[in-house]
Chains A and B, each alone.
Chain A
Amino acid sequence: MKFLQTILHTLNRILIQIRHLLIKCLPPVIAICGFFLLCGIVLILRGQNAFEFYKTIYLSGFSSFDEFGSVLFNATPLIFTGLAVAIGYKAGLFNIGCEGQLFVAAFTAAWVGIYLNLPSILLIPICICAAMVVGAIWGGIPGLLKAKFGAHEVINTIMMNFIALALTNFLVTAVYKEPDQMIPHTSQIHDTAQLPRLSGVIRFLPESNYLNISFLIACVCVVCCYILLKHTRWGYELRLVGNAPDVAEYGGINPRVVTVWVMALSGAIAGLAGVADVMGYRYRFADSFSSGWGFTGIAVALLGRNHPFGVFAAAILFGLLNKVALDIELFMNVPRGLFLIGQGLLIIWVVCQEGISKRINT
């Protein structure tokens, strides 16, 4: 009898957990379904076949390992920027500066990769660490300014974006441009600094697939962030500062210190998005290589509810969207802008949701 009771009790607890999870996941899922439905309706209004649209999504995203590998490849930088924004958000900080952080980090990775000639086992970690340090500095400065002078991190990260873009633009056009080239980019990094592609390890992936080690690094980052947030003292401090700064201070946590290291950590993670591009794809720093990953990261974090696993899922969704957008433009002659509009509305819907349901209930 007692045994049965224990089983029932455990079952009940699991059910509650599942219910809790469902309630948490439901709003974003509804939003995403609405998004795809809306796209279909717009296509019908354009006089095109909506069924064809859904088929293209399937074909360009899931029809083969090659396609799905490309989706994951597209998602990789977004996992990093999404995590960076989410970690900041958990501590009540808005890191709008991912774009700038990933630019300076990418340039650092390229610089180290060009000027150091070491075996892979040393060079790859050195490149990554250097890039993360620079990203951390770029994110840490607004953190420090906030902690020390109370300056709002949103404006400072935006300013740091401008500075990063102008600075890397200057470096890549005036100082480190590959000679005899029209396009402003640096020369190629050493072979030993390049992150190997996964096609060598996974049999299903064709040689041409771009998916590389940086995706695995992203996965590790997701798990690390989860552990940091949920199972460490630092994560506890971080969340407490985000939820109740006064309580944190009363409990002996210095919110200023937390602000600085969270922004630095956020910058370092955002920097990895630049690393993924330079060391895993282009093998060089190219001027304005990012297509707004830093800003998409905000959407990713929001849709993933600032939970590392949620961010992972949302990044893959956005990676899919980015890839599908190209194919839809190519095969169905639908401008990419449709998806941008959809993304914008999706974000607005998600942030309004709480307010809307409150209005309806009262």
Chain B
Amino acid sequence: MILDLIPSTLRMTTPIGYAVLGGIYSERSGIINLALEGIMLMGAYGYVIGAHASGSAWVGLSVGIGLGVIIALLHAVATITFHAEQIVTGIAINLLALGITEYLIPTTERVAGLPDIGLPFIGSYSMLVLLLPILMVVSHVFIYFTPWGLRLRAAGESTEALKTLSLSRAKWQYVGVILSGIFAGIGGCFLVSDVHYFTKGIIGGRGYVALAAVIFGNWRPLYGVAACLLFGFASSLDLIDLLSIPDQLLRIIPHILTMVVLAGLVGRSRPPAALGKMKS
């Protein structure tokens, strides 16, 4: 019975997983990204427009990522260049994204999905499901073992560190936020590609869940995606009748766990030191 849950858990985990990687890039560079929800929505929106207009899922994916990056850039310009309040900007962008999807309602017809890849022993999954662990490892290597990753982290740890190396902090923060646009955009694309239809509430708070998973995973890609598995597992449990506990209550558990972890009761969460700080 538990084995039956694996496919649905993976499907639930994947969109959050991409958003988490995006959130980690942004927050590691010191920018709080509450706009993940809106970026995911724009990704899904772009996917359905592109896939419907061209009939090709690949065009959909590109348009989705493109729109995700554009909306993330808006967040970047506001917060990095104009030092706007990051939390408020993020929420404003979520409103904006919701408004765009309501203003120009995309097609309600079925659109093409990205191809599945069949693997021995594991079964057949959407390529984005299988790409996630690869990107997770790549992100881990990028953040911890490359000079670029070091600079990205430096931007988030101190307002002064990059300046002493005569490097631009703003530039690396732009990199972080744009990467978050790409990844959260892919997360949104996966949601549409998976169910083939676009609805207004398709993201359903997954962007905020991803934010929780970023913290749960202590701002590390490997742990972050692992945390998503927990959230994904909890939300796939309602497919089976587990001990007749109502699914709403089961879905609360990861959120409570996040609060417990954040309080430092279990493990220790340490945010980037200069997260949210713009002035030195």
Contacts and interface: CB of A to CB of B under 8 A. Distances in A.
Interface string B74-87: 10001001111101
Chain B contact residues, majority secondary structure:
helix
B29 interface: no
Given A96-B91, A145-B262, A159-B259, 8 more contacts: A161-B208, A166-B248, A170-B246, A338-B99, A340-B96, A341-B103, A344-B97, A354-B83
14 contacts: A96-B87, A149-B265, A155-B215, A156-B262, A162-B251, A163-B256, A170-B248, A295-B95, A299-B95, A340-B96, A344-B99, A348-B93, A351-B78, A359-B81
Contact of B81 (A151, A156, A355): A355
A340 B251 contact: no
A335 B105 contact: yes
B248 A355 contact: no
A48 interface: no
A96 B264 CA distance: 21
Nearest to B81: A355
Nearest to B216: A155
Contacts of A173: 248
Interface in B97-130: 97-105
Contacts, number: 141
A360 B203 CA distance: 38
Contacts of A148: 263
Nearest to A295: B91
A58 interface: no
Nearest to A345: B96
B262 A158 contact: no
Chain A contact residues, majority secondary structure:
helix
B273 to A, nearest CB: 13
A174 interface: yes
B212 interface: yes
A15 to B, nearest CB: 32
A341 B100 CA distance: 6
A304 to B, nearest CB: 13
Instruction: Give the top 5 A-B pairs by smallest Cβ distance, nearest first.
Output: A340-B99, A344-B96, A337-B102, A355-B82, A337-B103
Contacts of A351: 78, 82, 84-85, 88-89, 92
| B: interface residue count bin | 35 or more
Interface in A167-181: 167, 169-170, 173-174
A359 B102 contact: no
A340 B95 contact: yes
B255 A298 contact: no
Contacts of A344: 92-97, 99
A302 interface: yes
A341 B74 CA distance: 13
Interface in B233-280: 246, 248-249, 251-252, 255-256, 258-259, 262-265, 271
Contacts of A174: 246, 248
Interface residues of A, number: 46
A103 interface: no
A151 B263 contact: yes
Nearest to B32: A154
A180 to B, nearest CB: 21
A342 to B, nearest CB: 7
Given A335-B105, A337-B104, A299 B262 contact: no
A352 interface: yes
B270 to A, nearest CB: 11
A169 B247 CA distance: 11
A338 B256 CA distance: 36
Contacts of A145: 259, 262-263
B211 interface: yes
Interface string A312-349: 00000000000000000000000111111111110110
Contact of A156 (B93, B98, B249, B259): B259
B89 A152 contact: no
B262 A355 contact: no
Interface string B207-228: 0110110010000000000000
B82 A347 contact: no
B55 interface: no
Contact of A167 (B74, B248, B262): B248
Contacts of B248: 166-167, 169-170, 173-174
Interface centre among A96, A298, A344, A359 (most CB of B within 10 A): A344
A332 to B, nearest CB: 13
A279 to B, nearest CB: 25
A158 B99 contact: no
Interface centre among B81, B246, B262, B265 (most CB of A within 10 A): B262
Given A151-B263, A347-B92, A94 B87 contact: yes
Nearest to A344: B96
Contacts of B251: 162, 166
